[in-house]
Structure 1
């Protein structure tokens, strides 16, 4: 692509080119500064507490259910060059990319328009560092005595930032020109004042400008709290001591991770997975493969796959964020998540312009819950396989969890007569994968967002014109195994107190086949599904005093909807969706039959599934020992009689 003279390509900056930053006066730590261990521990935790207060402020100021109810955001504190020292417990890949944006700002904005105290930049450009255009990042430098001391940032999934479709998910298009406009780092706040011209440009594109404007102010407020607290810390302990703690925290994270890696076996672990339906007209599947190499004290991710397609792609930033997300809870669960140090022990290699390392102008509108999420799944499996090869660390593995996000963007007229635009966040209640020693956690949330929560049913009904028939945990949604994957939930609802039809744009993957995979013989979870019951009798059932406990109890014309689609929901149409549970661990026929019976009684496993997959036969709710022995022998015999993979029985 031809470049404008004097302008460089919009690409992620992974390593700062110091020759380009002569105009930046960094605060540098003196070589002879000494830091005692007690002060290190006190201030390391103080920085984490500041990070937590930053996130709490954002939640309290925001009016968006995406933030206030589901915690689809994250916050970071970095050093003077943007290397991350601390991040929140929310969506991890939101926080795994901000260092790229900061380095870009330092290289490209220091001269014009400049980086000054009281400034903040906004960016949602996936090729620079945002995961996708909805994930708006607000970044602020922190100065001390005229020197650039550190950075803070906040990332929020904005409900709608423009483009062809509701929620900015352009499911019928193939490139970025149909999507919301990517905004490279632009000065949103100058000398402590919000630049209304820049805000107007950003809000003018949105179908929900008031909500987006409130979230921008929440991000600014969170950043301001973090800046104030860092200044207070400097006043109490001195700038050099605070900076020494930042540097030592990253060094400690690197050293600890490298020490752990040395205790794990060397080798290469691979996984291949697929996304289906790159846009609404596509019926293909799109392959990505990851090879995780553990060599001494270093991890290397090698990524290859099919060419970029439709709007399911992610850029280098999203790929890197997705790959590192499972590393944190499985390999660094007891370490500071100081990515500036952790990234030193991890290398990333990827073929160009594939689905998970797309080049401009590939479509990335769905990246966070498509290409990036897909990369999380692949990394999850590779890291779990690595840990499964270690007697000492196998207990830390987690099988595939919440293998895809069921996106539900909606727009209409609410019960107050006002327009609403939202994304329903109920799929935060996905199931976590099993472990080598225990079942997965039911409806635990999103593995890549350990601090996330599901939206409250009553909050949704208060905010939007909807009435839930139910939201419930689903039988047979946890992957079978010696240890069962956590079950997931589904939602079923009817429009309420509005006569206006609702417009919907939906997008997911994992409908053709589940993507929450098992480990060491464990089976995958369920797959996702969208379903409408047109002209239903739900209102009549409610009028008669009956509350349906399952969508199958509601009469009407059933419509199974494609995983990339848009449609209109009328007043009597039921909307049903189910998302994924967790994968299992170990062979299902090695599961204790009494535990299977307990799962049946609890509603987590059906009696049919107990017999078919676990080989457990029940009689009046109790295990039939003889029949179970026979059934499990039958399963083993069927396996031994099967043809090898790739060979026909003919």
Structure 2
């Protein structure tokens, strides 16, 4: 006979342990933010952090972070274990890669895996990913014709061996980047935050007298699996198809999905999606799975913790030769431009099944212009020191069924908008304008979120360059249920000169870059909008 009070007490204790685990990985992420050299991590939170069991299954992720990083990092730990099995790891070891197909999709993301030991026995693995400013090559842009042109390629190697730095690795790292101090500092930051997570985990295990994480892991996985399957079972079964278009590089790109909702899983087939590009907008399959699963989970089971078990019922069939399944060595530097459209594509399918639970399309893809200047742009005539910087900005999100979309907010990436002061502090650039873009949100019963207007120049109006990686210009976010489309983006100079939406371009001396970020689509008939909300928008200058 089951001892009910004992079982209830054990259940409470497991919940406390789960909450502690979340606190451990969130502290892991916050330490990375506080120690990172890259403004993309420190200011925007473009990172992920998580804890894994010895089979490479993700138990918990930090609250801070992006789904593209964390969901693809969930797969990458298995690749680390395939090369360096857990039983051979030692305390103080740190393993690193930026391989797009073994990590999180492009060379600018570093992934570090670190074992945690208690009483001389390995008990778990910590992993993190962070976007760094520069890894050499052509830089953060779409113009590479293979991954080998896109930057320094790091296989899965030890960067620290039992606490000792691998100096050969760090020599190669520093030599292969335009920002050696920042890149080396970021590697130390990634390793430090994993070490902190390992210490906190051991403290937790000591406190609860835990010899391993196995029982807690099975409890987490069981609860997450049951909750996700219950949520899927409530959906109308059937097949639902949708498509979405990207501006692409050589030509527009079409993403197609056919979603099958069954009793115990959701399957997505991408047959009919455009083929591979000759430029760096291709998407590795792990990144496709990462953002597609996130888009489904936002609608189907948003309250269920994100871990190995809760993502298991979401299955992807990605045809070979399509842009969402790029093989090595295709260029993938700006895979987010296409990949971040996937949640909107998933919602296009789910809108037919549960229309009251999805949003209209949003700006989706980050507008994060990499800026470069100095001798590498202007040669001997350079008026500025060499610099390389990237700044994260967002258009509007799509309208929600009962509320307006969010203005200037990153979805699905979830990164924070970087303060202009932080960017101006580390590079000789000036943001002359950064404000909401009136009228850019699509009309509807609930309107889309507003985009932004940005004007950027170099100090002294010197020459500089932008590596454009923008989308939603030729294909603006679409409204749903009669709502209007969001305003398309625009890329040019303040004098009206039009620039290409993708690719390296020089901004001449005395000129400034002007960006109009897209707004989100509207939801529902605009005639049904509350008149009080219309009056408020007019009074606030939003329409």
Same fold flag (TM > 0.5): yes
Q: Secondary structure at the match of 1:43?
A: helix
Confirm or deny: 8 A CA contact 1:381 1:517 kept in the other structure: no
Corresponding residue to 1:419 among 380, 386, 391? 386
Corresponding residue to 1:131 among 87, 105, 108? 105
Distance in 1 (alpha carbons) for counterparts of 2:315 and 2:461: 55
Partner of 2:92: 118
Corresponding residue to 2:474 among 503, 512, 515? 512
Distance in 1 (alpha carbons) for counterparts of 2:49 and 2:412: 15
218-227 or 373-382: which moved more?
Answer: 373-382
Matched, 1:166 2:139: yes
Confirm or deny: 8 A CA contact 1:75 1:95 kept in the other structure: yes
Confirm or deny: 8 A CA contact 1:180 1:365 kept in the other structure: no
C-alpha displacement of 1:559? 1.3
Distance in 2 (alpha carbons) for counterparts of 1:419 and 1:353: 39
> What pairs with 1:283-322 in structure 2 (closer than 5 Å)?
284-304=251-271, 305-309=273-277, 310-322=279-291
CA deviation vs aligned residue, 1:228-274 (integer Å, no higher than 9, x gap): 11111111113346432232122211111111111121122222122
Distance in 2 (alpha carbons) for counterparts of 1:183 and 1:290: 33
Partner of 2:201: 230
Matched, 1:356 2:317: no
Matched, 1:447 2:411: yes
Distance in 2 (alpha carbons) for counterparts of 1:528 and 1:578: 5
Aligned in 2, Cα 1:463/1:47: closer, same or farther, shift over 3 Å? same
Distance in 2 (alpha carbons) for counterparts of 1:416 and 1:229: 49
Q: Which runs of 5+ in 1 are unaligned?
A: 1-32, 389-393, 534-555, 606-650
Distance in 2 (alpha carbons) for counterparts of 1:206 and 1:380: 39
Partner of 1:346: 314
Partner of 2:174: 203
Q: Secondary structure at the match of 1:433?
A: coil
Confirm or deny: 8 A CA contact 2:383 2:462 kept in the other structure: no
Matched, 1:483 2:446: yes
Confirm or deny: 8 A CA contact 2:93 2:160 kept in the other structure: yes
Q: RMSD value over aligned CA atoms?
A: 2.4
Aligned in 2, Cα 1:232/1:404: closer, same or farther, shift over 3 Å? same
Corresponding residue to 2:223 among 237, 245, 252? 252
C-alpha displacement of 1:325? 1.9
Q: Secondary structure at the match of 2:515?
A: strand
CA deviation vs aligned residue, 1:489-536 (integer Å, no higher than 9, x gap): 12113322x47522221112221111x333333233222221113xxx
> What pairs with 1:44-59 in structure 2 (closer than 5 Å)?
44-59=18-33
Corresponding residue to 1:75 among 43, 49, 56? 49
Aligned in 2, Cα 1:387/1:145: closer, same or farther, shift over 3 Å? farther
Confirm or deny: 8 A CA contact 2:46 2:130 kept in the other structure: yes
Aligned in 2, Cα 1:416/1:60: closer, same or farther, shift over 3 Å? farther
Matched, 1:91 2:66: yes
| Number of equivalences | 528
Q: Secondary structure at the match of 2:230?
A: helix
Distance in 1 (alpha carbons) for counterparts of 2:45 and 2:20: 22
Q: Secondary structure at the match of 2:276?
A: coil
Matched, 1:584 2:538: no
C-alpha displacement of 1:441? 1.9
Distance in 1 (alpha carbons) for counterparts of 2:254 and 2:55: 36
Distance in 1 (alpha carbons) for counterparts of 2:202 and 2:372: 43
Distance in 1 (alpha carbons) for counterparts of 2:130 and 2:485: 31
Aligned in 2, Cα 1:506/1:102: closer, same or farther, shift over 3 Å? same
Partner of 1:530: 491
Confirm or deny: 8 A CA contact 1:431 1:582 kept in the other structure: yes
Structure with max Cα Rg: 1
Distance in 2 (alpha carbons) for counterparts of 1:434 and 1:385: 17
Aligned in 2, Cα 1:521/1:297: closer, same or farther, shift over 3 Å? farther
C-alpha displacement of 1:413? 4.4
Matched, 1:263 2:234: yes
Partner of 2:534: 596
Corresponding residue to 1:467 among 419, 430, 433? 430
Partner of 1:108: 83
Q: Secondary structure at the match of 2:497?
A: strand
Partner of 1:548: none
Aligned in 2, Cα 1:110/1:243: closer, same or farther, shift over 3 Å? closer
C-alpha displacement of 1:587? 2.2
> What pairs with 1:535-574 in structure 2 (closer than 5 Å)?
556=495, 558-574=496-512
Q: Secondary structure at the match of 1:224?
A: helix
CA deviation vs aligned residue, 1:380-409 (integer Å, no higher than 9, x gap): 433444331xxxxx2x42332332222311
Distance in 1 (alpha carbons) for counterparts of 2:297 and 2:405: 18
Distance in 1 (alpha carbons) for counterparts of 2:316 and 2:8: 34
Q: Secondary structure at the match of 1:96?
A: helix
Confirm or deny: 8 A CA contact 2:116 2:123 kept in the other structure: yes
Matched, 1:406 2:367: yes
Q: Which runs of 5+ in 2 are unaligned?
A: 1-6, 376-381
Distance in 2 (alpha carbons) for counterparts of 1:87 and 1:325: 13
Q: Secondary structure at the match of 2:83?
A: helix
Distance in 2 (alpha carbons) for counterparts of 1:363 and 1:602: 44
Distance in 2 (alpha carbons) for counterparts of 1:324 and 1:71: 21
Distance in 1 (alpha carbons) for counterparts of 2:461 and 2:398: 42
285-294 or 241-250: which moved more?
Answer: 241-250
